[in-house]
Amino acid sequence: MEDLLKYSTVREVLLYEKEADLKVRCKLCERRCSIAPGQKGFCRTRTNIEGKLYTIVYGDVSLLQSRPIEIKPFFHYWPGSSALTYSTWSCNFRCPWCQNHDLSRVEPNPIRAKYLSPEELAAIAVREGDEGLCVSFQEPTLFFESSLSSFREGSRRGLYCCYVSNGYMTTEALNMLKESGMTGLKIDIKGDSETYEKYCGGVNVDFVWRNARDAKRWGIHVEIVNLVVTGVNDSDPCLASVISRHLEEVGTETPLHFTRYYPAYTFRNPPTRVEKLERAYEMAKRAGVLYPYIGNVRGHRYENTYCPNCGEPLVKRFGYTIVRYNLTAMNECPQCRTRTPVTGRYVKKLPPLF
């Protein structure tokens, strides 16, 4: 096992404590795995080598793409911009409908790792014309130490830094991400407590909402996404639970996206009915959510942003593209001057020349 230490992707982690008999307890996510020597945690990215805990994925980039920020989806965060988006391997959840299972179900191997330094990642983003860095595709928390380094480097170069996450990190981890320069956090809410217990590997939804609340309180831009899965979390009581918790923890102005599920990985229930998504949107609107959205239904009127006061269309979208941006320079409605919260500036990308 100690042979792993020769690889550049193997580094001692920042968040753990030592226990008896050379065991260690990981403090990265709320699973807080107790790991014996020679063993790995639930996520398979952290291993105990002679009483010390190591990540085996530092800088091990599994996928790297420049992508529009709206694809995350972030609708109120640097609208129109693109982020260099990257990931590593594995996950700390076990959702059977995972659309990125080719990454999240793969156990990392330092022998096959493709190492990219924080400086290289930031330089690629600048070269490609991206405005930010985003860790996504699989659970970014597992790329924690790399995220801290790349976010510091990215911030130094004027890039925004964000996560697309299941939100199951510890409070200590979330605070360190904030201090490193993370300004955006999109959290996937799977449903109510029963959904998490039955389908995600026995995790506690309260920790996820706690992190959403803390991030918002600390000044991090937060958006919540609920993938509405047919026969799993699409009942009115489950949707009402998500909406109620959203309002309680992150308030009326935080965007809440209801996105359409399609069969993936081992899950074969039919795609979400659009009518079900529309019902979720309307339930949220009636409950007081000012900026609900529907996702994965390209061209739907509910993927647009409307003024919550007068109903004026503020941002018209078609999928991940902004077709019309109607907010003033002060993020106000041009008709009634109601302000819409937006983090970062609108970036109007030029169309390709060919």
State whether 37 and 82 are in the same domain.
no
How far from the centroid of its chain's Cα atoms is residue 233's Cα? 19
Give 317's strand partners: 322
Residue 121: name the closest of 79, 149, 162, 91 by CA.
Answer: 149
Give the model's pLDDT for residue 215: 98
Residue-wise DSSP of 187-231 = EEE--SHHHHHHHTTS--HHHHHHHHHHHHHTT-EEEEEEEE-TT
Residue with tokens 């907010």: 327
Decide: 162 and 83 in contact? Cβ < 8 Å: yes
Helices 205-217 and 171-180: crossing angle, nearest 10°?
30
Show which of 264, 279, 297 is a domain's final residue: 297
Q: Is the pTM of this model over 0.95?
A: yes
| CA separation, residue 211 to residues 165, 215, 220 (Å) | 11, 6, 11
State whether 288 and 318 are in the same domain.
no
State whether 265 and 204 are in the same domain.
yes
Decide: 133 and 150 in contact? Cβ < 8 Å: yes
pLDDT tens per residue, the chain (354 residues)?
A: 568 999 999 999 999 999 999 999 999 999 999 999 999 999 999 999 999 999 999 999 999 999 999 999 999 999 999 999 999 999 999 999 999 999 999 999 999 999 999 999 999 999 999 999 999 999 999 999 999 999 999 999 999 999 999 999 999 999 999 999 999 999 999 999 999 999 999 999 999 999 999 999 999 999 999 999 999 999 999 999 999 999 999 999 999 999 999 999 999 999 999 999 999 999 999 999 999 999 999 999 999 999 999 999 999 999 999 999 999 999 999 999 999 999 999 998 765 444
Give the model's pLDDT for residue 354: 40
State whether 124 and 98 are in the same domain.
yes
d(CA 76, CA 325): 12
State whether 23 and 104 are in the same domain.
no
Residue with tokens 């510890």: 170
DSSP letter (8 states) at residue 264 = B
d(CA 38, CA 58): 19
State whether 106 and 229 are in the same domain.
yes
State whether 223 and 321 are in the same domain.
no
d(CA 203, CA 210): 13
Strand order in the sheet with 34-35: 16-18, 24-26, 34-35
d(CA 303, CA 345): 20
Sequence-ordered list of residues with C-beta below 8 angstroms from that of 193, at least 6 positions apart, any chain:
204, 205, 206
State whether 202 and 142 are in the same domain.
yes
Show which of 276, 297, 318 is a domain's final residue: 297
State whether 153 and 87 are in the same domain.
yes
Amino acid at 353: L
Give the model's pLDDT for residue 89: 98
State whether 178 and 326 are in the same domain.
no
List the domain range (segments joined by +) for residue 22: 2-55
Number of domains in the chain: 3
User: Residue 59's CB: how many other CB atoms inside 10 A?
Assistant: 22
Give 66's strand partners: 84
d(CA 315, CA 170): 35
Residue 144: name the closest of 46, 225, 220 by CA.
Answer: 46
State whether 25 and 173 are in the same domain.
no
Using DSSP's 3-state secondary structure scheme, residue 281 falls into helix
Give the model's pLDDT for residue 349: 74
